[in-house]
Structure 1
Amino acid sequence: MKITTAHFLRVPNTLEPSSDANVDSLRKNNINVRIRHAFRLMILVFCLQLSIVCHALDVDPGDYTPMPDGTKLGLVYLQHAERDDYYVRGNRLSDKYNLQSDVAILRGVSYQEFAGLLTNIQLLLPFGHLSAGGDIKTMGSETGMGDPILANAIWIHQDPSANRALGITQYLFLPLGDYSKNKELNIGENRWKYVLQGGYMHGIGSHVILDFVADVTFFGDNDSYSPDDLTMKQRPQYQMQGFARYKLSERATIHVGYSRLWGGEREVDGTDLKDESSQEKIMLGGSYFVTPKTQLLATLGRDISVDNGFKEESRLNLRLLYVF
């Protein structure tokens, strides 16, 4: 990320000193303010990675519901998130680094039985728009395609009559999205990523279903990190997510959820940034089958704690699912 010196060398013009001593004092104060501002921005330059794909792999309630052999799904996701507060090692660096993201994801899923087990194959194509404001508005905005994702799931156990299932999914992120080392905002990440995820669905009675999902993400290196061609490495990152769903009817469901993310510290050209994610998030939403084959799902969420990086003030996820 590039920040121009003009961005942090602005001096207020409303001061009216009455003596030479006051002039010297005010000059020193202004210099100190500019130094502190410059230092904060340098930290932001070194620690901030703005890409369209979240460092976490969030799921929706019901993602591990087994479907009959031969079923095909088409899904469209629309996501909007707003962020103002930026944290470094548990301390709020600023509440004026505004970043908004709008993401659309096209997802195709095909289910089939293999060797007596239910499996599926998936393709996800993300597209998005990033826009910076506040004290980082000089970063501008960026629009393009994110890194495509190939996925495959297998169900180790399933009991549809009791709403219980256990499955494992693999995700492979392909470094084909829009990326430029000379841009401050990027849609792609310019690195391979592999996610191994396990999910368990457990029905309680006829109305309540619990979803538990845990995953680990492994990152390849980005050897074009910044115009200086620095190499960015990242340690494995872990996430646990849980939802409680309540069936209001055969067509309508409401849900609440919680997510915990940790690990994923980064290293740039041998320098450890000590920037573990350590993020907690809460979610609330619902779903409704408009027709027997068409479902709408909406989830509102926000971060409740972040140690490093942007804190999401609000997130809206919309999903349209169609069963072929």
Structure 2
Amino acid sequence: MHALRFFLPLILIGSAPVLAVEVAPGDYSQFPDGTTVGLLYYQHASTGSAHSRGEKVSSDYNLTSDIGMLRLLHTVQISETATLDPQFLLPFGRISGGGDAASLGSASGTSDLILTVPLKIKLNAGGDIFGFAPYLYVPSGSYDHNDSLSLGENRWKVDLQAAWVKYFTEKWALDMVGDAIWYGDNNDYGPGTSRLQQDNAWAAQIMGRYMPDPTLALGLGFGQTWGGETTIDGVKQNNQSQTTNVRITATKFATPRDQFQIQLGRDLRVENGAEENFRLNLRYARVF
């Protein structure tokens, strides 16, 4: 199932996160018509350093986040090969700074509500799938322009995501995903209520998947993000970002209706911003 593999809008003064909707291996699999799935996520992540223009500027830049998310989707069959999965995603949690990032303080509450209707099309008898999902971020999350950290972004955002899943055999598959992200303006940014604008951002993922039996999937994937430069009151910040990451995933159906997923990851290279040195994602899904 299409997991938003985290995460989500965190405004840091002077930074420009990309924040595409990540997916896990197998998330673009199709469900039968009328299927309803409820999902609960938990993510713990931490950073240890910060980079500017490819150079390390701090070895003690500690941001720690504990984020949960509720998600509900329902599958509608629109043809013999195509389905739609209308759904909503509501993140919530806490982020705090330590070390050289201690001055950022902490923030808690809800993040921006996300609405989407992914389209999944089965391409052939081998099970290959093409997917497309427009994600709309609604500026409904917790936000205070006086705080350095907020879980809400106070701006509209659209993420257009496309995916291609190739099955080589029943046990081996490759998932490829790309994102293009457009940002609205935040007209209440920072203590001076400045106008924050951001150029388009881009992201890509490639994930290999091994399925030793129908209930178990193991995945290894790499991701790349290219963040758009921000402008504050017309002044360009020269903070375009590039980040490369790695993810290891295990997904298991404990019963025909109960699925558990664990994922470990970290950043491998960061051009601008904080470098994530550890990420743990947990997911429980219930098929109704």
Corresponding residue for residue 5 of structure 2: none
CA distance in 2, matches of 1:87, 1:303: 12
CA contact (8 A) 1:281 1:301 kept: yes
SS of the residue corresponding to residue 94 of structure 2 reads strand
Cα offset for 1:74?
A: 0.6
**C-alpha RMSD over aligned residues:** 1.6
Corresponding residue for residue 143 of structure 2: 179
Higher helix share: 1
Number of residue-to-residue matches in the alignment: 276
Q: What fraction of aligned residue pairs are identical, expressed as a percent?
A: 36
CA distance in 2, matches of 1:273, 1:139: 19
Corresponding residue for residue 147 of structure 1: 112
SS of the residue corresponding to residue 67 of structure 2 reads strand
Matches within 5 A, 1:105-144: 105-114=69-78, 117-144=82-109
Residue 47 (structure 1) aligned with residue 18 (structure 2): no
CA distance in 2, matches of 1:186, 1:75: 24
Residue 257 (structure 1) aligned with residue 221 (structure 2): yes
CA contact (8 A) 1:124 1:149 kept: yes
CA distance in 1, matches of 2:236, 2:185: 14
Tell me which of 216, 238, 241 is aligned to 2:202: 238
TM-score, length of structure 1 as denominator length: 0.82
Corresponding residue for residue 188 of structure 1: 152
CA contact (8 A) 2:49 2:58 kept: yes
Query: Relative contact order (alpha carbons < 8 A, sep ≥ 6): 1 or 2 greater?
Result: 2
Cα offset for 1:139?
A: 2.7
Cα offset for 1:299?
A: 0.9
Residue 295 (structure 1) aligned with residue 259 (structure 2): yes
Q: Which has the larger radius of gyration?
A: 1
Amino acid aligned to 2:106: S
CA distance in 2, matches of 1:62, 1:212: 10
CA distance in 2, matches of 1:136, 1:278: 20
CA contact (8 A) 2:43 2:279 kept: yes
CA contact (8 A) 1:78 1:102 kept: yes
Cα offset for 1:179?
A: 0.1
Corresponding residue for residue 62 of structure 1: 26
SS of the residue corresponding to residue 261 of structure 1 reads strand
SS of the residue corresponding to residue 242 of structure 1 reads strand
Residue 104 (structure 1) aligned with residue 68 (structure 2): yes
Residue 169 (structure 1) aligned with residue 133 (structure 2): yes
Unmatched tracts of structure 2, length 5 or more: 1-11
Corresponding residue for residue 15 of structure 1: none
Cα separation, partners in 2 of 1:175 and 1:229, compared to 1, 3 Å? same
Shift >4 Å, 4+ stretches: none
Cα separation, partners in 2 of 1:46 and 1:293, compared to 1, 3 Å? closer
Unmatched tracts of structure 1, length 5 or more: 1-44
SS of the residue corresponding to residue 57 of structure 1 reads coil
CA contact (8 A) 1:66 1:158 kept: no
TM-score, length of structure 2 as denominator length: 0.92
CA contact (8 A) 2:13 2:148 kept: no
CA contact (8 A) 2:37 2:286 kept: yes
CA contact (8 A) 1:111 1:119 kept: yes
Corresponding residue for residue 224 of structure 1: 188
Cα offset for 1:93?
A: 1.3
CA distance in 2, matches of 1:246, 1:163: 15
SS of the residue corresponding to residue 162 of structure 1 reads coil
CA distance in 2, matches of 1:192, 1:179: 13
Cα offset for 1:114?
A: 2.9
SS of the residue corresponding to residue 103 of structure 2 reads helix
Cα offset for 1:209?
A: 1.1
CA distance in 2, matches of 1:113, 1:134: 51
CA contact (8 A) 2:16 2:227 kept: no
CA contact (8 A) 2:90 2:114 kept: yes
Cα offset for 1:313?
A: 0.3
CA distance in 2, matches of 1:287, 1:311: 26
